Structure 1
């Protein structure tokens, strides 16, 4: 059957099975495929039953002299090979096939004969001449392959020179393998049989590893909206009387400027007036309320009123900003099948660290966007990818040492060759509502806006990663 889903409809399609396919399925499950026969005997010699089966199947049957005894059986319409197995098991017998010749003997006798044959082969191997063969490894590392033949760890190769000697595993007790890392050559000293087996294995294993090109597209999308409303307000007053003069303003710096000018005038002319008030860059000193918008490009309305000895300053400012951004990078990397590929971009943050002796040194912390991909090519030319994505940013600073805010996504996906998988989920939204105001005055309806600063912001940030694996053909070169 075939099952698939399209939108909200799940479909299952069934295909009828033919009689031939049904018979093949039954045979595969049953295990016996011989032509069927029927046997019904009372106290018949075992050798006679074996002769009947040999005549029925046209097999050449050799029966050991130690096979004897009688049996009673009634088998109806069963495969001949099943009937033979039942007869052999009931009498403690076993069979060995060699071409179209079938040997039947007691199980103990066959086991003893096979043991003798094995010992004879081992004796021949122990007496076989030793010769040396050189195998140049083309695509693999010789230190990795040698472990297959020695049954040990390739790390045991002598590191004092470019070669080492080991002996175990596929090698015979008299054999040894020498690794020459400089030329990536395996030197084997063993019998012809072992050398032939090693040559056969190397032919299967020393082949080019298929490669996968991992193309990634990293998109960082941002959407920011900010709205601000602020005001600046100040009252400055300076007056004289018979006892002297007085000044009122937004800050001590402003009153100090006014008082200084009055004192200078008294010393020079005997009259405190005219007073000097802060202007230009120092005009902010006159403000009682300084809650302007933070943006330099804000719209504003300002006016100043001077009545007698009183100066009133008022400014209302407003700012609305909308920002949309998209940062795109497209790194690519080629890696071998089942080997990890690593893509990383970002910064390393320096900081000072102190040791127990009091000495300081510069160390670094990474704040990077990194992708780790391990591809695995399936037999049908699809790609299984183990993916790990880290998006690290700089966090708060503690005692001069930066912290790292970490976001991580790990997954495993199966993708067709050349298809693209999209990784999302790293989505952030920050909403802020801030109000700065003068106590009591900022709460007065309408008038309170002159003593208040408001900020509304909505920031969205999303990280999207597109990963496309492409299996490279052997003839493709980059």
Structure 2
């Protein structure tokens, strides 16, 4: 035998081939294979002839093999030995239909290998198997099984189906299948809910979380159970392994014991948005009703102390305005109810920005009735009578229409060389809204009597454009006016004199607000509909009050609106109007002549004016729910002020080029960059905000720059009103 192993390789292969040829047709024939440093391709040829299998050999399959066999082998055993030789050499045989591909192991997984469980397949065959997991996570098993798979093998997880895909030799796949079966077992994890009777769920969860954190520090591989507090039912929810749950449940039962302090627990609750002083009495009333055994509402308690009728312990709610906190003393159940109410009430409320235009629309009607005398001759005109300025202007305009010449005494002349001249003058006056009558008295002198009725139309007067922002359900008020002193009395103490023997009189004065007052209370309803409670008052002093300011006869005009309306956010609503009538009468007359019976009317001028004022209010509410809304509308107002500064400065520069520059606010983004972030550096001296010219260092102070303004011919972009 030893001598046969030492024979030259060529002789062995020739003998093997001869033996194979003799037994190729007999499957029960046996073959004894002894090779030393034989070419692997020659071995593949021999196995093909003995087993009758067809092979495709990759060109990269090269090398020498040594096989020592002490007993004859049947063809199937020879093929298994052949696969083992390939595995040792780093090659693999992949069955593909009627042929077997011999390739390097690194390429074997990419070929058409058979999908199999690995059982009933030669252990060195390349197979692919898909494992469907029922309990374990496929993604979590990949790092565990990776060291057990050769480098060229394939191991991947398909998370949606919780599957593992393994491509390896059949023997290793069978081994991995056994390991996966042991790992994919049902877990004892579960969820358990413990309803507390005495303790507070939040406090118990805090204790259990601290214990679990300490256990994790001691053993980083330990599983940490999930512990959650359900404040609505005052329960503790534990999710985890059975052993962990049992241990934590035991701790919960030990903690859920009655408190030794009959006065109950005390907690300080810091509010985020609500006002502690306003919330305290609400919570006390709720605590009393909630702890009543019959469920009937009790008497509203005093703000400082409350005791439930059916409770053995006091429920006390106090407020600290300095820290905006509530101090609550209550038994566990009542404490949970109070904290639940606080969470629902302590929320950030939306804000409402209200823009208003308060306008006074006047319909003024001034009726002027009188006779203005003008004495005309053939060449000039002379005025005799009362001519008001409007009449003088009318005559001057009429004179220009009639082609007259200069007049006498500063009064425009009215040419009367022809009869048609006066007619032309009358037509000119009629064109200006006047009524004229022309007559002739005597031959040389002509009298023109002008009877006119003029009407003047008033326009709209904007009284105020207030803009105010307030919280939902909070009243906001704007007052613009003066405190005017009103004399309420005057006294002189009889019998009481000064050292000089004089009586000491004194007066009593009461000061009242006179001006414009606007009060608005918004309430945000569903669908961004705002309910507005509006109170508007406009007061003023009369101009013709006898005695002047501070007198007992001083009169105040007052107009007020008190209304409740509903409007959607962003819409404009008009409220109006208050109509007030004011009639003024005046008379101008020539002394003595105006008193002549029957003829006195020819020497008098009367003027009657009537003013109708209609107060109208335009409301534009907008809901501001977040910081983005606030920044948007704040920027609009900021830009409006900045553009007004630029327009004013441009007008000033146009009128007075030598005038010094006026300060102009920064651009909004530049202002935020220097003021909104403490770590932001201010603009360097000489560097103006975007869109502005350079500014000297001395001209920058507290975010305001005295920038050189552009010339009117090239105003900055966006300098108009927003």
| Greater gyration radius | 2
What's the TM-score once normalised by structure 1's chain length? 0.49
**Greater RCO, CA 8 A, separation 6+:** 1
What's the TM-score once normalised by structure 2's chain length? 0.34
Greater fraction helix: 2
